[in-house]
Structure 1
Amino acid sequence: MAQDYRELATTLRGRIDAGEFRQTGKLPTEDQLIEEYQTTRYRVRNAIAVLAEAGDVFPVRGSGVFVREDREGDYLSIGTTRGISAEYPHRKVTSVVQELSLLQADSVLAKRMHCAEGDQVWRVVRLRQVDGNPLAYETAWYLKEFVPFINEQIAEGSLFGYARNDLGLNFGFVDKVLYAGKLEADAARVLGLNEGDPALYLEDDSFLTNGRLFNSSFIAYHYVNARFFTMTSMR
């Protein structure tokens, strides 16, 4: 069911991006969407909640769900985790794999991954690009317990899409820590910047609906090419 409402949210976002609702300025009513997609009110409401959390729409009580005006440029959402491909739907997103290995967790990695020492963990290091321009240098770890297999072809695509759609994992929530720092030599080289240049770092831990952590990531974003967005309540 979780996958169903996220799929509907993706479909609606595609229609928003195509300008389908520009004339009315808002989405069809819940009843109209239920009829159109032959689905449940639960699925429609949860899909709209996903769009609202990402800042794509905003509900007005008694008036409907309004579409946000386009923001100039492309942004990564801080408040949601949809993956870079979903954040840049009209751009070419590619991943260049720098490393793919299967490790046995030492004490440090076991603590981060909430697993036992010796458990097997995939380590994936990638350069993420948008239209050929470097966006992020990402180091990610996946517990083999939940992600039994990764090869380079899979790593070149969307790993979250693979985990959700191919492995059937049910995503729960993500803890994010965002902070500024200076680039280390490896990240600077891959991003085409200089060691010591500024960077925005993101550390995130991704959990399944059962509360188990399955993925941790450490990402250095290109200080020129990456921009971020979040929408917050004024209440």
Structure 2
Amino acid sequence: MYENKYLSIYHDIVSKIRQGHWKPYDKLPSENELAEQYETSRETIRKALNLLSEHGYIQKMKGKGSIVLDVGKYDFPVSGLVSFKELAQKMKTPAKTIVHELEVIKPGEYLKKHLHVTNKDEIWKVVRSRKIDGEHIILDKDFFHKKFVPVLTRAICEDSIYEYIENKLKLKISFAKKEMFVDKVTDEDRKYLDLNGYDHVVVVKNFVYLDDASLFQFTESRHRLDKFRFVDFARRNH
């Protein structure tokens, strides 16, 4: 019960920060005030505040209490290999995928280089925008080797391609290599994204492999600058 209590307090405060009850740089109530509000001990409140600090929601200032940080960005793990559906469920934020293109193409020089394919191969091209909190802020351009993914439908692409690949095709997605850089917006970005005046996007290239080391997917994921921070966890080896 003790652990459940501090976790429920943590989630409640996160929800209030996300909803704007406390704005960036606001000071949270004191430990005593929060303990009274949540009808619990200061130790339980302290555990909840430590968790908030660890996850980047607050900064604990000695002698000044806890200051709310700007969380108007969404966390997308650089080193992780997860689907947008899984991320949306984790964020607990209204999200929707819109499929703009779904077709089988022959690879040009760019795809032959990035997906290690030849003129004889057929490639699924999937262009999708991701709508979060009412704004289109990610453009995903996915390319799948048709040898590994023979069939794709609009319904699959609107839901989760990874879920389909793993549960229906019984393929094991194993690892990915990633590149990240900032790029100028393109006409395609302007067409599908709500750019809000930004003239650059953050681009993450993903080269995704199956457990037999077969490269089956190349993705170019284009993110609006102001809405995303890319997070990773690193520990220094001693």
- Normalised to the residue count of structure 1, the TM-score between the two structures is 0.67
Residue 21 of structure 1 deviates from its aligned partner by 7.7
Residue 68 of structure 1 deviates from its aligned partner by 8.8
Whether contact under 8 Å (2:177, 2:208) holds in the other structure is yes
Q: Which one-letter code corresponds to 1:83 in the other structure?
A: S
Match of 2:111 in 1: 109
Match of 2:88 in 1: 88
Q: Which one-letter code corresponds to 1:224 in the other structure?
A: D
- Structure 2: state its 5+ residue gaps: 11-50, 58-72
Whether contact under 8 Å (1:100, 1:123) holds in the other structure is yes
Q: Does 1:125 align with 2:127?
A: yes
RMSD of equivalent CA atoms: 2.7
Q: Which whole-Å CA distance do the structure 2 matches of 1:20 and 1:118 have between them?
A: 59
Aligned residues: percent identity? 22
Residue 184 of structure 1 deviates from its aligned partner by 0.9
Q: Which whole-Å CA distance do the structure 1 matches of 2:80 and 2:130 have between them?
A: 18
Across the two proteins, how many residue pairs are aligned to each other? 177
Deviations 1:54-88 (A, max 9, x none): xxxxxxxxxxxx99944436411111011222223
Q: Which one-letter code corresponds to 2:95 in the other structure?
A: V
- Structure 1: state its 5+ residue gaps: 1-18, 26-65
Residue 113 of structure 1 deviates from its aligned partner by 1.5
Higher Rg of the two aligned structures: 2
Match of 1:176 in 2: 178
SS of 2:190's partner is: helix
SS of 2:165's partner is: helix
Tell me which of 211, 214, 217 is aligned to 1:212. 214
SS of 1:111's partner is: helix
- Normalised to the residue count of structure 2, the TM-score between the two structures is 0.66
Deviations 1:88-113 (A, max 9, x none): 32123211111111012244422321
Q: Which one-letter code corresponds to 1:82 in the other structure?
A: V
Q: Which whole-Å CA distance do the structure 1 matches of 2:85 and 2:147 have between them?
A: 26
Whether contact under 8 Å (1:173, 1:207) holds in the other structure is yes
Whether contact under 8 Å (1:185, 1:195) holds in the other structure is no
Tell me which of 153, 166, 169 is aligned to 2:168. 166
Whether contact under 8 Å (1:176, 1:204) holds in the other structure is yes
Match of 1:77 in 2: 77
Q: Which one-letter code corresponds to 2:142 in the other structure?
A: A
Deviations 1:165-195 (A, max 9, x none): 2211111210100001211121123112278
Q: Residues 20 and 102 (structure 1 numbering): CA distance in 2 closer, same or farther, change over 3 Å?
A: farther
Tell me which of 128, 145, 148 is aligned to 2:147. 145
